[in-house]
Amino acid sequence: MPLNPESPLARLMATLPRAGAVEWIGVRPAREVPMVAAERVQAKAGAGLTGDRYQGGSGKRGLTLIQAEHLPVIAALAGLEAVSAATLRRNVVVSGIALIALKQRRFCIGDVVLEGTDPCDPCSRMETALGAGGYNAMRGHGGLCARIIQGGTFAVGDAVVPL
């Protein structure tokens, strides 16, 4: 059930202190192959990111995002010194903005308009990638899935701006 946009809770949820920034971009060319880092990527409405295995049917998951601030938390919970964005298999790492605040909201990166759809829950592959307990280390820190509303390009360093 949607919130009344005039309610105090809706007003709080709509308030973000600043824009975020893209720190890293990666695509998954195929299942179970390493991520390929990119400085710039093309996003196609209804088709995902060019070069990504999900390209061709975005639905609710045209791309996945994760917060840079959560990478050290995931590493600590998994008992690791560090964890790379590529290991977690998310497409975009952002900093400076609470991704969960973008759920059910539109936002832009570069000239791409996105809509946050659902939390990006970890998959069972995280047990292999991070070791025993890796799945649970990511729970609550897996990021956000987003639908591509308007295609275009974005790059590392671009702002993540709520609309």
CA–CA distances in Å: residue 47 to residues 114, 121, 145: 13, 21, 14
What is the 3-state secondary structure of the chain? CCCCCCCHHHHHHCCCCCCEEEEEEEECCCCCCCCEEECEEEEECCCEECCCCCCCCCCCCCEEEEEHHHHHHHHHHHCCCCCCHHHHCCCEEEECCCHHHHECCEEEECCEEEEEEEECCCCCHHHHHHCCCHHHHHCCCCCEEEEEEECEEEECCCEEEEC
Q: What number of other Cβ atoms are within 10 A of residue 90's Cβ?
A: 25
What pLDDT sits at residue 147? Answer: 93
What pLDDT sits at residue 59? Answer: 63
Segment-wise mean pLDDT, segments of 10 residues, the chain, 163 residues:
76 76 95 92 92 69 93 96 93 95 94 94 88 92 94 98 94
What pLDDT sits at residue 70? Answer: 96
Backbone angles phi and psi of 49, in degrees to 5: -95, 135
| Beta carbons of 145 and 120 less than 8 angstroms apart | yes
